[in-house]
Amino acid sequence: MIGVEYYVLLSMAVFCIGLVGVLTRRNALTFLMSVELMLNAANINLIAFAFYHGNLTGQVFALFTMALAAAEVAVGLGIILVLYRNFRDVDVTVPTTMRW
Amino acid sequence: MNDWIAIGALALVGLLIPLGMMLVSYLLRPTVPETSKRATYESGEIPTGGTRVRFNIQYYMVALLFLVFDIETAFLFPWAVAYLDAVESDAISLLEVLGPMLLFVAILLIGLAWAWRNGAVQWAQTPRQVEADSDR
Amino acid sequence: MAIYELPEWTALGPALILAVTALALFAFDSISPRSTNRQLLAGTAVAGSLTSLGVAVWFTVAGVGTPTADGGNGVIDPTHGFVVDQLALYFMIIVAVVTALIVVASYDYLVDHAYQAEYYSLVILAATGMSLMAAADSLVTILIALELASLPSYALVAILKDNRGSVEAGLKYFLIGSLSSAIFIYGISLVYGATGHLELAAIAEVVSGETEAGSGHDITEMGGLLGLGILMLIGGFAFKTASVPFHFWAPEAYEGAPAPISAFLSSASKAAGFVVLFRVFTEAFPLGEIGAVIGFDWTVAFIVLAIVTMTLGNFAAATQDSVKRMLAYSSIGHAGYALIGLAGLTADGGELVMGAAMMHLLVYGFMNTGAFLFVALAEHWGVGRTFEDYNGLAAQAPVACAAMAVFMFSLAGIPPFGGFFSKYFLFVGALEAATASTAMLVVAAVLVINSALSLYYYSRLVKAIWIEDPPATRDRLAQPTGLYAAIIVAAVMTIVILPGFGPVVDAALDAAGAVVG
Amino acid sequence: MEGAFSYAPAIAAFPLVAFVVALVFGKWMPKKGAIAGIAATGASLVFSLWMLAAVASGETYHETLYEWTAGEAASEIGADTIGFSFGILIDPLAALMLVIVSLVAFLVHVFSLGYMNAEGETGLPRYYAGLGLFTFSMLSFVYADNLLMAFMFFELVGLCSFLLIGFWFRTRSAPSAAKKAFLVTRFGDYFFLLGVVAIAATFGTLQFAGDESFVAAAEAAIDDGGQLFGFDAETWVTITGLLVLGGVIGKSAQFPLHTWLPDAMEGPTTVSALIHAATMVAAGVYLVARMFGYYALSPTTLAIIAFIGGFTALFAATMGVVKDDVKQVLAYSTISQYGYMMLGLGVGGYVAGVFHLMNHAFFKALLFLGAGAVIVLMHHEQNMWKMGGLKDKAPVTYYTFLAGALALAGIIPFSGFWSKDEILYDALIVGLEEPLIMAAYAMGLLAVFFTGFYTFRMVFLTFHGEPRSEAAEDPHPVGWSIKLPLIVLGILAVVAGIANLAPVAKLANVDITFLEHWLDGEYGGIDEVTYSAYSELLAYETGVISSEQVTVLIAAGLSLLLAFSGAGLAWKLYSDPEPTAHKERLGSAGTVVEDNYYQDEYQVWLAEGVTLPLARVADRFDQTVIDGTVNGVSTASLFGSSWVKRIQTGIVTNYAALLIAGFIALLLGLGVYGGWF
């Protein structure tokens, strides 16, 4: 049986990949995908720990996380659409009318 | 630890096989450049326009709707799993079993109705249709 | 009163009423999507939020959450994952009040706006989330309620679809928000991993060693994991409360959003963030015991965050040109003040400092909402956004400007107004906590310094409004009823909360005692 | 009379209501607030008389109404709690004073109808509001039962005088006079405040009367012979008494803080009447009478009071001699007369001092109102050299004014004679044993001559002779509202002396010293605050010349002689139809006197030569060091601000990076702190 720590390492790796994506990619959609990656890292954890602790809480929670992720994407895509309409671009570094 | 060596070896082999095949193919094949080879394949039709077409915004709308409602159905599964046991159990009344899910579905229905009435599922009109509408 | 004759799930009434209101608005919009019956829409939203407020007040008065020993009805567990106690009701009241105020104000702000029904239903939906946050006592419900509050907020900030500022604000809010919630959820997964539970009480039992974690391992082995998880939770809440370092969205989101929404986010949303913060940290990670597991008490983190947040918010606000942005930064500063409520807790006490933070959030709910609504009024007039543009408004709209002066002085903490008292209690509470930890002395000192600095920029606005001469070219200013009503109510409350401070203090201290003690 | 006292607060409340009414609704009221003021002061007068009757029937009232704070505080004599409260003390002295104050205030209000309303003044609501507040403050001060409450209303009285003296604030002189009055009296009050604090810290109580009073505590402390703050108990009582006396000297315009009073003539004449006769200036002397038990414990303080009083009496009288403005003459006469009261109190003549306070209130109010009437007659001309001949044209004004003048000059049998003579008699009998008091007595006696002179100079110049200006030839008529108060006060000026015919009593050996009995609590009083109780405390030896009757005769004869000779000299010099000025004959002395002994000049020099440079140094310190620090801090803050806000670059990716960086910094910091690594 594979120890739970490997799952944690895997999830952390996925989380960090997502994080790097957030920090380096300028396309709003990629940003969103990277965040999804981070959420999935959390899901890995939850499932692994649910198995480890022997209760279903984590699995159910993962279900909720997925639903939330979907809702978030829905709202996010809507915002990205109006972003494109206003700025003619989906680059997140373009809108800088407000700063300081 | 030995298990891990085996896994590592397997991974290595798994990586080498496709790479080797690509290498062999590269060495053996004749090179005959031809434009139709580079063209986009569209089920045998002659391609029109570039690959980077802009999709109609309605694609996103439908995709969003699909995404949201699709994911919501995932919540039905745990309920469905527990349903039979719950119905047979004496401790829980039928209302307590069905009520929450009916409420959940009702809320979803309100959402769907809203999206529908606000034109989210209505396919966008082409310019020609708009013209036709205004002519009438 | 006859609380017990009601089923227990009705204890969530304030939140459920809001939910029903939101659904009713959606249903209405489904039936007639192109209706512009603003009276009906706004009226429904106001009625819903006022009913929610009334029910929450009624529950408080009826003694829901008051310990049975004191003649109350005790804490009620309406359903799995929720709890209705004094803390929950207190913050439900704040949320409902702010919602009512901004809905009333929005009536005028939204003239000629295309998405009336959507706007109101999203506001009420977000309020539902915030109200649920107040009662959530499991990480699952907390997350769902938090997202229920966040997602409509993203959309609301960006609701002016053709306004680049609004869209940009929405984008930034959404991106930082999604990143923060990813961190938050990951934190939850780590806490779950370390303890095997998501209910706060169950987590606390594991942390204090009363029960074993699900897998039977010793909790101290997982100390690092739990510590990282807790820090990530702090991150998620810091986003919601606009605290450093998760505050970056706030200046832009508040500046770009429609002003009523800025008011909503900076008052209600922040308060909701704080109630979850208070509940999670006092209930799930009991002080003293947590130190043995992760190596330090989490108050240290909040001391650092409070100091940095206060300082950054106030310093950045000092030299702003745009009034709305100044208020946005000052809102960050006030989040820092409220954080003192957690920083000053000790293992065996701290109701005073936490109660003070809660009082501050209530008073802040009025004065900050009022201030942003004044900005909404200015946007309605179209006078511009900088301090100079506000010059001499008092000559043309003395009532609203008097109210604004009240808000500014109250925010700065000048004696006759509510803001002074809550800040004073915070200061006293911080000093009291300093007996346990000398770092709290620094916190108290920073509080004073920042208050002094804040007086500078708040009074700058008062000076612009009242003392400077108005530009000759300004037209007559309209007097929109709804906005005026909301502003005046907020101003009156900011003032009368002073004579009525006794009950507020009692309520806040009781609520704080409920979770601390 | 049961329950009369429960209405006592109303006495002060009426004028307060009038103040509010005049301020808020005055603009729309028919007489701009005058009616409200008259009604209120009239009601106060009725209630005061009721209190007087109640006290006469043998009751007194001492009640704490509201305690605004109380707590633990260790005081020097060992009391460990202290409370600050509002309370009412009505004993014979307070009851008498209440009647005087409300009567004068009432008459001044009535007079104002003719003086202010009829003359078409603007800002009348403000005027009547000021009068109302003034009356309220003074009445509250009078029946205050503790020193702190007295202090508060003492200050309020000062504020009201500021408001009313500066009533014509558009002129150049009135605001400056108001400021001067305020500042000079504040200077005295500063010491008063110190005294209040010192007494509170020493005895842990500020009550005037009762077992808990600071007077009783001081007496006990002196009897114990212990030390208070490192001083002998008596020395310490002297020090605190002198501190409180600072306030008295300022308010009662005693040397050297008298300079504000002549300038205060810039206010409306009615206000002058109120200030001089019954409120502000009287407040100082009343305070000494109120806490006379405390001063009686310290012979040093008493001697100082007596000497200052005697000196001021003479000093001010000489200045009054050369003034041309009718109000100025009266102003200096006020200073002089209050000097007499101080002299009387200082030599232990408690009854005499209070008696003179009462008589003076009547005749000085009369004189000022008379002067006001003259000013109305003269179309607002105040220079006596432009008057003359008003005797026949305004007989009511003339005869009442003459009654006041005779009382002021101390001519038998007018009221002023009886009280002044009693003061001088008391001074004389003490002076026979104490050389310092003898000197004070001598000055007081000499002042009688000058008083007679300047009073009749004023009368002659104003009313006698030929009219010397057009205004005097054709005086403006005055109405009933002016005449009525004059007549009332005129009668009182004539007959008030009956209250205490001490010389007659001593010579004829009949018991007609009603006021003495009154103040002695024979009709009703509080034990520790009676004349006889004070007499026991006094340490003065008294002497007589051969026998008491002879001494009485000598004292009375001397003062009468001097008064008559002063009046006679005035008659000789100024009773011509066309009187001429005689100032030149005084030579350089005249110049000195006319310039008020350069009192203003030296005080200005003190202010400009000493205080101003000091203030400049302080200001320089404030500007450079303190402000520099503050400015530096604010500059640094704003610089920091402009730096801090640069973090917010506007690029959301940077935010994410900073957010993560901040999070990692927190993680590392706490990790190190918690020992994770």
d(CA D486, CA D484): 5
Q: How far is C273 from chain B (nearest CA, A)?
A: 26
Predicted structure pTM score: 0.69
List, for residues D180-223, the tens digit of each pLDDT value.
Answer: 888 888 888 889 999 988 888 888 888 888 777 888 888 888 88
Q: Do C325 and A98 touch (CB under 8 A)?
A: yes
Split at pLDDT 50, 70, 90, the class of C21 is very high
Q: Does residue C32 sit at the D interface (CB-CB below 8 Å)? A: no
Residue B8 lies in a domain: no
Distance from B51 to chain C by nearest Cα, in Å?
Answer: 29
Contacts with B64 from chain A: Cβ below 8 Å: 73-74, 77-78
What is the model's pLDDT at position C35?
A: 72
Q: Look over chain D and give the mean of its residue pLDDT values, rounded to a whole number.
A: 84
Chain B: nearest CA to A71, how far in angstroms?
6
Nearest-Cα distance to chain A for D644, in Å, is: 9
Q: Does D663 have pLDDT greater than 60?
A: yes
CB D366 within 8 A of CB D401: yes
So what's the pLDDT on residue B136?
42
- Helix axis angle for A4-24 and D652-674, nearest 10°, is 140
**H or E stretch at D79:** none
C170 token code pair: 């929405």
Nearest Cα residue in chain D from A93: D651
| D547–A contact, CB cutoff 8 A | no
Q: Is C244 in the D-facing interface, judged by CB distances under 8 Å?
A: yes
First CA to last CA across chain D, in angstroms? 89
| Cα separation of the two ends of chain B | 79
Enumerate the H helices of C196-296 as residue ranges.
200-207, 223-241, 249-256, 259-264, 270-279, 289-294
Task: Indicate whether D560 pLDDT > 80.
Answer: yes
**Which chains share 3+ C-beta pairs under 8 angstroms with B?**
A, C
For residue C499, name the pLDDT band (cuts at 50, 70, 90): low
Indicate whether D500 pLDDT > 60. Answer: yes
Min Cα separation D663/chain A (Å): 13
For residue D170, the model assigns a pLDDT of 83
- Specify burial of residue C159 (Cβ count, 10 A radius: 0-12, 13-18, 19+): buried
C-alpha span between C281 and C462 (Å, rounded):
38
Chain D interface, Cβ < 8 Å to C: 634, 637-638, 640-642, 644-645, 647-648, 650, 652, 655-656, 658-659, 661-663, 665-667, 669-671, 673-676
Q: By C-alpha distance, which of D171, D133, D119 is closest to D26?
A: D133
Q: Domain A7-87, CATH 1.10.287.3510 — does that match?
A: yes
Q: Per-domain residue ranges for chain A?
A: 7-87
pLDDT of C3 above 50:
no
Neighbours of C317 (CB within 10 A): 27
- The answer to whether C428 touches C500, Cβ cutoff 8 Å, is no
In chain C, the number of structural domains is 1
Please, which residues 12-71 of chain A have a Cβ atom closer than 8 Å to chain B?
60, 63, 66-67, 70-71
Record the tokens describing residue C380, joined without a space.
Answer: 């309605």
C-beta separation of D473 from D467 below 8 A: yes
| D401 Cα distance to chain centroid | 23
Q: What are D254-263's pLDDT values in tens digits?
A: 888 888 888 8
**Secondary structure in 3-state letters for C346-402:** ECCECHHHHHHHHHHHHHHHHHHHHHHHHHHHHHHHCCCCECHHHCCHHHHCHHHHH
**D648 interfacial to chain A (CB closer than 8 Å):** yes
Comparing CB atoms, the residue among A31, A61, A82 nearest residue C175 is A31
* Cβ-based contacts of A73 with chain B (< 8 Å): 64, 67
B119 to chain C, any CB pair closer than 8 A? The answer is: yes
- Confidence label for C5 from pLDDT (cuts 50, 70 and 90): low
**Number of domains observed in the structure of chain B:** 1
What the block records as the tokens of D44 is 């106060």
Answer yes or no: is B76 within a domain: yes
Alpha-carbon gap, residue C397 to C383, rounded angstroms: 12
* CB contacts, 8 Å: C231 with chain D: 663, 666-667, 670
pLDDT tier at C139, thresholds 50, 70, 90:
very high
Asked if the C-beta of D641 comes within 8 angstroms of chain A's C-beta atoms, the answer is no
To the nearest whole angstrom, how far is the Cα of B66 from the nearest Cα of chain C?
18
The predicted model gives D310-339 an average pLDDT of: 86
- For residue A50, the distance in angstroms to the closest alpha carbon of chain B comes to 15
Measured between CB atoms, which of A66, A73, A81 is closest to B74?
A66
Write out chain C residues lying below 8 Å of D644, CB-based: 312, 315-316
- Whether A93 and D660 lie within 8 Å, measured CB to CB: no
So what's the pLDDT on residue C302?
A: 92
**D83: enclosing H helix or E strand:** strand D81-90
| Chain B residue with minimum CA distance to C33 | B118
Contact C208, C286 (CB under 8 A): yes
Question: What does the pLDDT average to over D37-49?
Answer: 89
Question: Using a CB-CB distance cutoff of 8 angstroms, which residues of chain C are in contact with residue D630?
Answer: none
Three-state DSSP state, C84? strand
With respect to residue B104, please indicate whether it lies within any of the assigned structural domains.
yes
Structural domain contains residue C181? no
CB < 8 Å to B67, chain C: none
Q: Nearest by CB to A93, from D646, D652, D660: name it.
A: D652
Gap from C317 CA to chain A (nearest CA, Å): 10
Which residues span the domain enclosing C442?
299-517
Among chain C residues, CA nearest to B115: C30
Given CB atoms, is B36 within the 8 Å cutoff of chain C?
Answer: no
Chain C neighbors of B114, CB-CB under 8 A: 26-27, 29-30
Q: What is the pLDDT of residues D77-111, one digit of tens each?
A: 767 778 788 888 888 888 888 898 889 889 888 88
Nearest to D649 among A26, A92, A99 (CB): A99
Question: pLDDT tens, C92-112?
Answer: 999 999 999 999 999 988 888
- pLDDT > 80? residue D565: yes
Nearest chain C residue (CA) to B108: C23
* Residues of chain A with C-beta less than 8 angstroms from the C-beta of D648: 99-100
pLDDT of residue D336 exceeding 70, the answer is yes
Question: Number of CB pairs < 8 Å for C and D?
Answer: 85
Q: What pLDDT was estimated at residue A12?
A: 92
Q: A58 to chain D nearest CA, in Å?
A: 25
Nearest beta carbon to residue C23 from set B110, B117, B118: B110
Identify which has the larger pLDDT, C485 or D517: C485
For residue range C425-461, what is the model confidence (pLDDT) as tens digits?
899 888 888 887 888 899 999 999 899 889 989 999 9
Residues C178-197 have a mean pLDDT of 92
C29: closest chain B residue by CA: B114
Residues of chain B predicted below pLDDT 70: 1, 47, 49-51, 53-57, 121-136
Q: Between A and C, how many residue pairs show a Cβ–Cβ distance under 8 A?
A: 133
Q: In angstroms, what separates the C-alpha of A56 from chain B's closest C-alpha?
A: 11
Nearest to C176 among D656, D662, D676 (CB): D656
SS (H, E, C) C275-336: HHHHHHHHHHCCCCHHHHHHCCCCHHHHHHHHHHHHHHHHHHHHCCCEHHHHHHHHHHHHHH
Q: How far is C366 from chain D (nearest CA, A)?
A: 27
Other CB atoms within 10 A of residue D35 CB: 18
Q: 């208020």: which residue's tokens?
A: C327
Residues 91-150 of D with CB under 8 A from A: none
pLDDT category of residue C166 using cuts at 50, 70 and 90: very high
Interchain touch D–B (≥3 Cβ pairs closer than 8 Å)? no
Residue range A1-12: mean pLDDT, rounded = 85
Using a threshold of 3 CB pairs under 8 A, tell whether chains A and D touch.
Answer: yes
Is a pLDDT exceeding 50 seen at residue C2?
A: no
Query: Are C316 and D658 an interchain contact pair (Cβ–Cβ within 8 Å)?
Result: no
Q: How far B35 CA sits from the closest chain A CA (Å)? A: 32
Would the pLDDT of D648 be above 50?
yes
Q: At what angle do helices C418-433 and C481-496 cross, to 10 degrees?
A: 50
Count of CB atoms situated within 10 Å of the CB of D631: 11
More confident residue, A86 or D224: A86
Considering only CB atoms, B71 lies closest to which of A60, A67, A77, namely A67
